[in-house]
Amino acid sequence: MRSFILLAPLLLAACATTAQRPTPPPPRSNVPPSPAVVQQTGDLIGLSTSQLVTRFGTPDLRIIEGSGVKLQFRLLSCVIDTYLYGDTVRHVDARDIYGRDVDRTTCIASMDRERR
């Protein structure tokens, strides 16, 4: 009986199922994915870098973000951030100097008046 008691844990261990290892994720590419671009309608969408510079002058800020470029134009009343992919404006944000959203059309009109 004593030998059965000693063998019981071994028999139970032999019947136990092995834990499945999770499948590893696929290898990651070093190339960042292109951002999802939401098409907007608006006065600046579709313009090139040279057209923006002709319209508003030299950008106050230029940042390369992955495969795109952000050009920022500033006034005291508002800031316009333009996002270009392939040298074409695809997205425009307008905000005040505190970061609150403002009407894009009004900000562009102000920029046209003051930066020409």
As for how many domains the chain has, the answer is 1
What is the predicted pLDDT for the residue at 43?
A: 85
What is the predicted pLDDT for the residue at 87?
A: 92
pLDDT at 41 over 60: no
Question: Is residue 13 in a domain?
Answer: no
Phi then psi for residue 75, to 5 deg, are -130, 175
Question: Is residue 61 in a domain?
Answer: yes
Question: Is residue 16 in a domain?
Answer: no
| CATH code of 91's domain | 3.30.1450.10
- Mean model confidence pLDDT for the chain: 82
Candidates 53, 56, 89, 92; CA nearest to 74 is: 56
Question: Is residue 86 in a domain?
Answer: yes
What is the predicted pLDDT for the residue at 23?
A: 73
Q: Go through 44-80 and write b for each residue having 16 or more CB atoms within 10 A of its CB, e for each that does not.
A: beebebeebeebbeebeeeeeeeebbbbebbbeebbb
Q: Which domain holds residue 83?
A: 40-116
Residue located via tokens 């951030």: 81
- DSSP β-ladder status, 79-85 and 88-95: antiparallel
